[in-house]
Structure 1
Amino acid sequence: MLYLLVAANPSLLDTAPLDKDPTYKKVISRRVTYPPVSDQHKIALMVYARFTINERGHVEHVKIIRHPTEEVHHKFYDAVVESALKRLPPLNPSYVGHYILPVSFSLRDEHNGQLLIPEDVGYYGEQVNSVMLQPVKVIGYRRYRVQN
């Protein structure tokens, strides 16, 4: 098994043809949203998903990859990314191959306006000739109730 740490800095990576596909871009941008969790459970974090596009253009073998040092499983965030990928319509079969999708869940604090951006420690997982896609950026909001 080959493990490789890949920097997720988009300026260092070439843009994959899939990143430019209008159907992919539209569907991913609409379906990868901040998960419906209460404000006290909202966090900023990175999620990496590995998936394959088969010869018919269908997405398969979706797997969320975690850094070995991460102890907490963020099932709501993982589920949003996994569901969005699994619900992609068939894409152009020319995209056949293995991909890694980084998703950055940032959080804006409505009390002070601060944007909490997750620390990107890079992708740590099996590379398997995969193409690193451009990160999807999602911003959630933490609201505070004013108590009288």
Structure 2
Amino acid sequence: MLNPYSAESADPALLRQAFSGFPCGVAALAAVVDDEPTVLVASSFSVGVSQDPPLVMFAVQKSSTTWPVLATADTLGISILGEAHAPVTRQLASKDKAQRFAGVETHVSERGSIFLDQAPIWLDCSVEHVYPAGDHDIIVLRVLGLMSDFSHTPLVWHRSQFTTLAA
């Protein structure tokens, strides 16, 4: 039975549960900032915002302590996470910033963008726009370079858990 959501009787748990039913790709946004590798994991990442110019976007909570650090980087490495990243995704997103990259194989570009090995897609990006959106900010990124390797299956966030696509 339909349980309508209204602003007058807003139930954050109901809203979160409904949103979890929409499968999303998972992205790691990473860069070296002040000689420290820094990463933020986002399930709100979206490709195909624009092809001319090439733009992608994601949403980040205003309470994030990682995004203000990453926002200072000249470029960000976006790795669309693959099946191989399932065991380390929660580690990459953990509060323990010192251990986020422990055991994770990466590649660092000359500009300081960090890319995770075995990702189906790598995007090298810079911040184009930031828009306030309630308790989040919407970050629009310009794609400066890319690489794809579809031999790796993407990781998907669905119903509050990580899963993969099946043919």
Say yes or no: TM over 0.5. Answer: no
TM-score (norm 2): 0.26
User: Whose relative contact order is higher, 1 or 2, with alpha carbons under 8 Å and at least 6 apart?
Assistant: 1
Given the two structures, how large is their TM-score scaled by the length of structure 1? 0.28
Higher strand share: 2
Greater helix share, structure number: 1
